[in-house]
Amino acid sequence: MNSPDKRAREEKRNQRALAKRQRRIEKRQTPSRGPEIVTADAIVGNLRPIEEVMRSLQSDAPVQRSASTIPTKLFVGSLSSNTTSAELRAHFEPHGTIAEAVVITDRNTGMSRNFGFVTMADRKDAPAAIDALHHSELDGSRIVVNVATQR
């Protein structure tokens, strides 16, 4: 090993250590920024005044939601080979608004893979649909209904 090479490496390492120490000192000496001040409107968005909400509650009018609904995807297994997406949708519609119902098919053969997915428009309808339709009969098969999970 050549001693000038070793000295150059040591010098480079010492320079990096010195630069790191200086950055650390600068960071400690910089005053921290305080919390960002924002208005209530920026946090909560466009909310109706409380007086308007109270009037609507007292008038027995349907309550408007301030937030949009969150959809929930359900897995439907053990489908019959003859079940179509339209039949699947029709089976689930009495239990809530359906955003999408699809029976999964094989790419090569076009045959049903005997499972599908139903997307409920509102997540609040999903538990009732699962309770009502899990182990129910559709096209001669007992179907399995669960909340869909990612692979």
Predicted pLDDT of residue 4? 82
Tell me which H or E stretch contains 16: helix 3-29
Predicted pLDDT of residue 61? 61
Domain membership flag for residue 29: no
Q: What are the tens digits of pLDDT across the range 58-115?
A: 776 665 666 678 899 999 999 999 999 999 999 999 999 999 999 999 999 999 999 9
Q: How confident is the model at residue 147 (pLDDT cuts 50, 70, 90)?
A: very high
Interval 20-45 mean pLDDT: 79
Predicted pLDDT of residue 67? 67
- Residues 100, 146: Cα–Cα separation, whole Å: 16
The answer to whether 125 and 95 are in contact (CB under 8 A) is: yes
At 112, which CATH number? Answer: 3.30.70.330
HSE-up of residue 45 (Cα within 13 Å, Cβ side): 2
The token duo for 85 is 């997406």
Tell me which H or E stretch contains 137: strand 137-138
Higher-pLDDT residue of 50, 40: 50
Predicted pLDDT of residue 150? 85
The answer to whether 64 and 111 are in contact (CB under 8 A) is: no
Domain membership flag for residue 128: yes
The answer to whether 101 and 88 are in contact (CB under 8 A) is: yes
Provide the domain limits for residue 111. 72-147
> How many independent structural domains does the chain possess?
1
Predicted pLDDT of residue 20? 94
A 10 A CB-CB count for 43 gives 7
Question: Which letter does DSSP use for residue 93 in this model?
Answer: G
Question: Which letter does DSSP use for residue 69 in this model?
Answer: -
A 10 A CB-CB count for 73 gives 16
Predicted pLDDT of residue 52? 82
Domain membership flag for residue 67: no
The answer to whether 129 and 108 are in contact (CB under 8 A) is: no
pLDDT at position 32 over 90? no
pLDDT at position 1 over 60? no
Interval 14-41 mean pLDDT: 84
Q: In the sheet that 72-77 helps form, which strands lie side by side, from edge to edge?
A: 98-105, 112-120, 72-77, 144-147
Higher-pLDDT residue of 69, 132: 132
Domain membership flag for residue 57: no
